[in-house]
Structure 1
Amino acid sequence: MKVSSSLHFARRGASGTALLPALLIVGMVTLVVVLFFNMSTVQLRSSSSHAAVHDLNTLQDMAVNAAIGQMRQGTTETNALWISQPGAIRTYGKSTGTASRIYKLYSAQEMVVSAAGLTDGSALNLESDVPPPGTLCRASMPISMSRRRMSLAT
């Protein structure tokens, strides 16, 4: 019987040595998983900021292309003379000289207005389209990014 009891103690010592490598492997796998999720978070933030910059560039291009389209439409109108002013292009009948249309080069509810229906001087001067101060910004203003939000630098 003494032989079996000594074997029993030998098994206990051998089974405890496998615990340490198993814990090391589990710890290393946990470390790899945590690092993977950390790297995924960084990649998500990076791609989100890149997408925001791309969207901003697309919006800038859309605004410029809308203004170019309005300019082309106003300057290529048949049987008309055109005059440019800051923010608009006015067309006049070639033979009559009366005001025909006003093509606005900024965002408005109506981008092309028939000048024949405008009789009031302030409407002809587009004074009703002037937005309140602080609602417009220059395209050349720098943009600051902080805490994943883009804002115009003041």
Structure 2
Amino acid sequence: MRLTIEPDVEKWRDALRWVQRHSDGLKVSGEDIQALYPGMRVDMFIDESLEAGVALVVVTWRERGMGAVTRSQLGVEVPAVPVTVVDTVGAGATFEAGLAGLAAARQQAHAARGGRPGPGRPGGGVALRCACTAIAEGHHTQHSALCRMAWCSA
């Protein structure tokens, strides 16, 4: 989410609601939540996302670390590792790529054991196809940056 690119908060909210309905996983920063919904508690945002159909919600808090909650209410908080910051360019994308890679590896391992294909939807799964695909096909084309926040059912 970049309010400097698209300053209309309601457009971002609409796009996020679409992502919540179509994604198994959602990664968002605590800053993004506050920019979209000033004063909203993070746990309320997580609950709304899970109720909308997201199977895993990951929230990052910069130097404080991250937290993740699943639809079955399993949760974890991971503190950040202290580092000397040199350049933050690509840090979020790197985190998201690692998260997507772990999810894809878990899905492949689960499928290899004969399990169902995905955590959130019948026949679906955490996929290599993300919200970018649907966005590129005409849904919320002006909000393609949101594709970095989510991965969708195959």
TM-score, L = length of structure 2: 0.26
Q: Report which of the two structures shows the higher radius of gyration computed on alpha carbons.
A: 1
Greater helix content: 1
TM-score, L = length of structure 1: 0.26
Which protein has greater RCO, CA pairs closer than 8 Å, 6+ apart?
2
